[in-house]
Each structure stands twice: as structure tokens, then as C-alpha cells.
Amino acid sequence: MSATTKLPSLDERVAAARDALSPAEERVVSFLVEHREEAVFLSAADIARRLDTSDATVIRAVQTLGYGGLSALKGELQDALRSRATPTLRLGRSLEDLGDDPDAILEHVLATELALIKDARETLRPSDFARAVELLASADRVVVQGVGPNASLAEYFALRL
């Protein structure tokens, strides 16, 4: 496999394998998708207990998605979480490394923002976005809060509502 070949993401694998899953495997896959951050720390037996199924069903579901086993899926989830978990910290460290070169700083900030937008495009499901819009539009009251550097974004969001 070449270095440029991108493996399918969990969401892509789920979409491709949905019809091949048994009802019990479907429950497992739904749990994995909806609880990614938590699933990273759970064993097959832990997941099985929560879903009242067997650990063999958990493993079969993961293999139906095309993973060699639960550890392979958890590795992908960990990588995804690591890449999204601390963009502010990553940007701050990178800016320190760049020094005082304004051109390099501008290029780096723009590249970082583009990467974050690309990540949002790959992970945000249109159905989830539509549901969020629907909930906001039908709400009698929406409370918006932002602290520190997010305060101005929260204020802007509140004004746009």
C-alpha cells in the first residue's frame, strides 16, 4: 500500500457495511459511532455487557467493518481523537517553532485552519447538522455561552440567532 492511499474512515466503513450487519452487530456499530471517545477505553467484553450481547458479536461487528480486530478500530479512533483534541495547543506550539517570520506564521495559520475545515467536512454529517438547525429553530429559548477566547464567538452566534 502506498503512503498516499487513505484507508476508509469508520463512517465510510459503516456506510459500506450497513446491509451486512446483523441486528446485534448493528447495535454494536451504532454504539461505536455514537460513543467514539468512550469506546477507545473499552474492551469487547465491556461493550458487550453494555449492549447485552456477546464479546464475539462485538468482534464480528468490527471485522464486518473491515478491521482486523477491536484494537485496530481503537487505534484509528485514538488517532482521530489525537488529531482533533488539541488544535489550539498544536497551533501554539507550531507558532513558537516558527519564530518571528510573519510570512511563515501566516502560511501556517491558514494551513491549520484549512485542515480543520477539511476535518469538519469529513466528520460532520449533514443529517446531524440539519437536526441541530431544526432544534435551534424550534427552541423557545437558546442559551449561548463562551468563555475566554470563545466569548466573542458566542456573542456573534447569539446575535446571528
What residue spans define the domains of the chain? 10-83, 85-160
pLDDT tens, residue by residue, 86-139: 566 666 656 667 777 888 888 877 888 888 888 888 888 899 999 999 999 999
As its CATH architecture, domain 10-83 has: Orthogonal Bundle (1.10)
First to last CA, the chain: 48
pLDDT more than 90, % of the chain: 50
Are 161 and 155 in contact by the 8 Å Cβ rule? The answer is no
C-alpha 51: how far from its chain's center?
Answer: 22
The upper half-sphere exposure of residue 6, i.e. CA atoms within 13 Å in the direction of its Cβ, equals 6
Identify the residue with better confidence: 158 or 81: 158
DSSP code of residue 53: S
For residue 13, the model assigns a pLDDT of 92
CA-CA distance, 84 to 95, in Å (whole number)?
Answer: 18
Which residues does 143 contact at the CB level (< 8 Å), separation at least 6?
Answer: none
pLDDT at residue 2 is higher than 50: no
Give the three cell numbers for residue 127: 443529517
What pLDDT band is residue 1 in, cutting at 50, 70 and 90? very low
